[in-house]
A and B are shown apart, each in its own frame.
Chain A
Amino acid sequence: GQNIDQPTEMTATEGAIVQINCTYQTSGFNGLFWYQQHAGEAPTFLSYNVLDGLEEKGRFSSFLSRSKGYSYLLLKELQMKDSASYLCAVRDSRYSSASKIIFGSGTRLSIRP
């Protein structure tokens, strides 16, 4: 099966930088995703990593190390609207449905002024 670990809660200051870590264990890794979910809303897609390295997209960057089973999401220039849960998710190639992904429990990020 899979095991996805990420911190339950984090707090950061407006304008600062925060890094949310995710570790995973899976026997058929085939991509890692980050989603953002505001309270009461559905998740929205942030990033996708399948190769090692850093993917940058505006204020958000995502890093992957497949050998270490490790990823992080980096948020820069934090804004109050970034307060949300951030979900790490992994796709396992063993599943017949190519796009089936398994979600971690999410990290609830609170931004203080």
Chain B
Amino acid sequence: GAVVSQHPSWVICKSGTSVKIECRSLDFQATTMFWYRQFPKQSLMLMATSNEGSKATYEQGVEKDKFLINHASLTLSTLTVTSAHPEDSSFYICSASGGAFFETQYFGPGTRLLVL
């Protein structure tokens, strides 16, 4: 149990375009999903916490208008990087918790974003 998928696994885009990343819990209902960003050789940085059916809570310093998060169902959350720039290139990882797995977070495989 506790399988989380992410799509796409990697994406290359031009500067100024928007990129949408999907995070799905495959075998449980995720009442809460989290979005992280990780730069090479650095630790995970929490970007936002997303509860199903409500607005996401962003961490300090994360622009909510640039990183749009939608958690419309108990199995799907999306992160849209709007007007992406090279400095947004990073490893984006989602995690989910809920149901029988409410006590911890299970991570998706991550999405590697490269903005040219």
Contacts and interface: CB of A to CB of B under 8 A. Distances in A.
Contacts of A106: 43
Contacts of B32: 97-100
Interface in A14-37: 31, 33, 35
B49 A42 contact: no
A43 B97 CA distance: 14
Interface residues of B, number: 23
A35 B98 CA distance: 18
Nearest to B51: A97
A40 to B, nearest CB: 8
Contacts of B102: 98-99
14 contacts: A40-B91, A41-B109, A42-B108, A42-B109, A43-B93, A43-B107, A44-B107, A87-B44, A97-B51, A99-B98, A99-B102, A100-B32, A100-B49, A104-B43
Interface of B: 2, 32, 34, 42-44, 46, 49, 51, 57, 91, 93, 97-98, 102-110
Interface of A: 31, 33, 35, 40-45, 48, 87, 96-106
